Amino acid sequence: MFNITEKDGYLEINRRGSLFARYVYTGFLKPFLGPVLTADGHSFTRADDHNPEHPHQRSVFVGHGEVILEGHLPIDCWNEPKDSGIIEHVRIEALERERFVAQNLWKSRDGTPYLDERREFCFADLCGAVEIKHKIIFTASYGKITLGPTKEAGPLAIRVADELRGDRGGRIENAEGLVGERECWGKVSPWCKYSGTLGGRQVSIKIIDDPSNIDYPTAWHVRDYGLFAVNNFHFKGERVIEAGQSLSWNFKIIFSDIG
């Protein structure tokens, strides 16, 4: 069903012979998966790569706004001011028909390495939907890391297409039946979903937290303007990764063309 090929600066993920998504790892301060497309070519995610409004929120991305390496100043790998941190693509570790693994380095602008990141995507066709198993591993390879209690964090985040925004007719809901930003923001739930009409078709994006994850079930940082992120840091506090240790998360993302 899927075929992944490496191009110049990105991976191309095809589904049933048509483009489903790209994983872009050059030309930006953070790698991202996007755009992510419906079967008829509409983008579930915000596909304009240089939008002046929250330009750092590109499609499906990983980030954290307060990363502290012991003995060093914090870096911001969520926003992208002139002194922000950088998530640098290192290599594609594995590339298969329905799966790839990327290695990234989080570092300061002066080149100081802060942590290593391993990002894995596995794609499955669900007949009208695509399920992505997404694993993220942070390793404190260069000393103890503190991930601060910031609102601007994921680790996983999605910027949905403008047509799906909550302030433009889209719908945010969680497993407890709460609806809208006011009810869902900061609430704990095993899953959350953004849905709406795209190209005349009802579509949805659902993120499912995994019971193996620390602080399960997660709190949600969801906004009517289109941000859709998991975030325990702002709501449950900082996390420390001791030198040489790792912290991992597993999520499922379901992009559905049938609501």
Instruction: Give the pLDDT mean for 131-151.
Output: 98
pTM of model > 0.85: yes
**Average pLDDT, integer, range 197-212:** 96
pLDDT category at 54 given cuts 50, 70, 90 is confident
Residue with tokens 């925004």: 165
Decide if pLDDT at 128 tops 90.
no
Which pLDDT band holds residue 117 (cuts at 50, 70, 90)?
Answer: very high
Q: In the predicted model, is pLDDT for residue 134 greater than 90? A: yes
Whether the per-residue pLDDT at 48 is higher than 90: the answer is no
Per-residue pLDDT, averaged over 178-206, amounts to 97
Give yes or no for residue 49 having a pLDDT over 80. Answer: no
pLDDT score for 259: 62
Give the whole-angstrom CA distance, residue 111 versus residue 107.
Answer: 6
Q: Look up the CATH number of the domain holding residue 152.
A: 2.70.98
DSSP states of 162-224? GGG-GGGT-EEEETT--BSHHHHTT-B-SEEEEEEEETTEEEEEEEEE-TTSTTSSPBEEE-T
Determine whether 212 is exposed, middle or buried from the number of CB atoms within 10 Å of its CB (0-12, 13-18, 19+). Answer: exposed
Where in the sequence is the domain holding 68, given as residue range(s)? 2-256
Give how many domains the chain has, as a whole number.
1
